[in-house]
Structure 1
Amino acid sequence: MPPKRSYLFVPATSERMLEKAVSSNADSIIFDLEDAVAINEKEIARERAKNYLLNHPADKDVYIRINDFTTEYWRKDAECSVESGAKGIIVPKAESAGNMKVICQIVLEGLEKAGKSDTQFEILPLIETARGVHFAYEIANSHHLIKRLVFGSIDYSLDVDCELTDGGEELYYARSQIVNASRAAGIGSPVDAVYPDLANEEGLNREAVRARISGFKAKLAIHPKQLNVIHNVFTPGKKELEVAREIVLAFEAAELNGSASISVQNKLVDYPVYKKAKSLLQYYTL
C-alpha cells in the first residue's frame, strides 16, 4: 500500500461534506466528531459518520476522531468507529498510557464482538499537550493497536502558552520528542499538525518542509486546497527516486558478491544508506 502523506479533516456535520472529502485526492480522511462539532450535535454527527461509512464504502482509509477521554462521548464514538468499518480512530488529548490502554481495550472488545480482526484497525493518539509530549514514548508503546502518533500544534501552543511563529522554532522540541518516541517505540513515523492559514500556501510549504526534515512523513490538512502542497513536500522528487533505485540495485548486486560497502555517484553506500534508499522506493507507486 502506498504511504499516506495527507490526512484530511472533515466535520461530520453534513453528508455532502463527507462525500466531498472522500472524493478529494487526500490519501486518507478523518471524520471529525470532536472540535468541529457542537455539543448538541455530537450524537447526530456520530450516527451520520457511521451511516455514511456503512452505505458508502470508501476506496481510501477513513478514520474517525473521537471525543477526548474526559467526555461522555468517547466510548460510543470508539464503538461506532468499529461498527462502521472505519480504518481507525484519532484520539485527541492523548496524555497517558493508562488512558490509551482503556480506549484500546474498548476497541478490542468491539472488534471481537463484530468478528473483526485487530490486525488492520489503527489507533492514532493525538499529542497536543505538554503532558502528551512528555509521555509520548509511553503512549506510543502502550498497545499494539497504536500505529503512529499525530501532532496537534495549536492546542499544544495554547497549553504551554507559547506563540506560533512563521519560523516554527517554538515547536522544535515537541516535534523532536514525538519523532524520537515513535522510533523508540517501533511504530510508524508520525503525522504533523494542521496549518490553519488557508491563504498562505508558502507558509504551509515551509512548515511541511520543517516537519519532513524533522522526521514526519505526513501532515494533517483542513481543506482540499492544501493537499497538493503537502503531497509535493512529502513525495520524493523524480531525481531522488532514480538515485535511490540506483543505490538499491548496486548495493544488492554488491551484497551478493560479499560486499556491503560500495560507492554510488562518488558517495559511500553502506547498510544505513541502502535501507534509507530502499524505503524511498515505496513512493514509486504514487
Structure 2
Amino acid sequence: MDASRSYLFVPATDLVLIKKAVSSAADVVIIDLEDAVASSEKETARKVMKEALKAHKQEQKIIVRINALDTAFWEADVETAINGGAAGIMLPKAEDEQGVQKVADKIRQISGGKDKAFELIPLVESAKGVQFAFAIASADPMVSVLAFGSIDFSLDIGCELTPEGLELLFARSQLVIASKAAGKGSPIDAVYPDLRDEEGLKKQTVFAKQLGFKAKLVIHPKQLAVVHQVFSPSKEELTLAREIVEGFEKAEKNGVASIKIAGQLVDYPVYKKAKKILQNRIIKQ
C-alpha cells in the first residue's frame, strides 16, 4: 500500500526548482503544467518537464499535472509525461467518469497497454466533481486515489474559506467515503496556501487526518515537516500498536477476542487498526 504523505507541486517551467523539489523530503513530486504555467508557455514547459523527467525519474516518484480536458494542451501533456517516464498523471477539474475514462484510454493508447504501475489521480475541485466523486473514483482501475482542490471548489460554490475549514467538511467527507466505497486509497487533502501560517497548516492537516485523509498536497518544501509529522505515527503510537497486535493475537489463540491493554478495550476493530498502523509505519521525521 502506498504510504505517501506529501505531494509537492513544482512549476514545469524551472529546472532548478524541479531539482530542489526532487531533492526535498517530499514523498511525491508533482510537476505542474496547469495553473503554474501561462498559456503562452505551455509548450516550453512541456519541454522542461521532459528534460526534468529524464534527469530525475530514477530519484523520485514524479507525477505530472496535465491541463484540463477542455483545453488544447492535455493530449500532448499526457504523451510527453508517459514517454518521459512519469509515474502517473493528475487530472485537474475531474467532474465525471467519462472524462477520467478518456484520459485512461489515452494513457493505454500511448503506453501500448503497459500501464500496470501507472497512476491516474483525479483532482476534484468543483461541486459537480464532489457530487460524482464515487463515479470518478470507480471510472477506471488506473485511478489510484482522489485529490481535493479546495480553492477552485470554494470559487465554484461561492463559499468563504476559513482557517477552521468547516465550510469544506461535507466535500472532504464525501471524497473519503466515495474513495472507500470505490475500493481506492485514502484521498489527498487540498493545499494550504498561507506559507507563513505553520500552526494553521498543522490544524488543517490534523482535521483532514481525523476525517480519513492520509496525505496532503503541498506548495512549498517548508510545509513538508508539519505534514509528515501529522500523517506519521509517533514512536509511542507504534509501541502501543505492537502491544495491541501481540496481545490480541496471543489472546485470540486462547479463544479470547476482547482484552484490555494500557487501559483500553481491544477487540477486532481496534486490533485491525493497530495492525494497519504497523503495516504502513513511517516514523515521524
Matched residue type, 2:103: I
TM-score, with length taken from structure 1: 0.95
Query: C-alpha deviations, 1:92-149, integer Å up to 9, x for none?
Result: 0000001111110111112226xx3x22110000000000000000000110000100
Match of 2:233 in 1: 236
| Alpha-carbon contact 2:233-2:282 (below 8 Å) kept | no
Match of 2:142 in 1: 145
Query: Structure 2 CA distance, aligned partners of 1:56 and 1:266?
Result: 49
| Alpha-carbon contact 1:208-1:230 (below 8 Å) kept | yes
Which structure 1 residue ranges, 5 or more long, are not aligned?
Answer: none
Matched residue type, 1:176: S
Instruction: Give the 5 Å matches for 1:39-188.
Output: 39-112=39-112, 116=114, 118-188=115-185
Query: Structure 1 CA distance, aligned partners of 2:213 and 2:133?
Result: 15
| Alpha-carbon contact 1:64-1:90 (below 8 Å) kept | yes
* CA displacement at 1:285 relative to structure 2: 4.5
Matched residue type, 1:256: K
Matched residue type, 2:63: Y
Deviates more, 1:237-246 or 1:187-196: 237-246
**Partner SS state of residue 89, structure 1:** strand
* CA displacement at 1:66 relative to structure 2: 0.4
Count residues with an aligned counterpart: 283
TM-score, with length taken from structure 2: 0.95
**Partner SS state of residue 36, structure 2:** coil
Query: Structure 2 CA distance, aligned partners of 1:138 and 1:241?
Result: 36
Match of 1:218 in 2: 215
Match of 1:23 in 2: 23
Deviates more, 1:97-106 or 1:276-285: 276-285
Instruction: Give the 5 Å matches for 1:232-271.
Output: 232-271=229-268
Query: Structure 2 CA distance, aligned partners of 1:135 and 1:2?
Result: 24
Query: Structure 2 CA distance, aligned partners of 1:223 and 1:63?
Result: 16
Query: C-alpha deviations, 1:153-172, integer Å up to 9, x for none?
Result: 00000000000011111000
The two structures, once aligned, show a CA RMSD in angstroms of: 1.4
Matched residue type, 1:149: L
| Alpha-carbon contact 2:3-2:280 (below 8 Å) kept | yes
Deviates more, 1:124-133 or 1:240-249: 240-249
Matched residue type, 2:90: I
| Alpha-carbon contact 1:3-1:282 (below 8 Å) kept | no
Deviates more, 1:234-243 or 1:208-217: 234-243
**Partner SS state of residue 81, structure 1:** helix
* CA displacement at 1:262 relative to structure 2: 2.5
* CA displacement at 1:233 relative to structure 2: 1.0
**Partner SS state of residue 184, structure 2:** coil
Matched residue type, 1:7: Y
Query: Structure 2 CA distance, aligned partners of 1:148 and 1:72?
Result: 25
Deviates more, 1:154-163 or 1:71-80: 71-80
| Alpha-carbon contact 1:22-1:58 (below 8 Å) kept | no
**Partner SS state of residue 34, structure 2:** coil
**Partner SS state of residue 193, structure 2:** coil
| Alpha-carbon contact 1:236-1:283 (below 8 Å) kept | no
Which structure 2 residue ranges, 5 or more long, are not aligned?
Answer: none
Matched residue type, 1:165: T
**Partner SS state of residue 63, structure 1:** strand
**Partner SS state of residue 131, structure 1:** helix
**Partner SS state of residue 63, structure 2:** strand
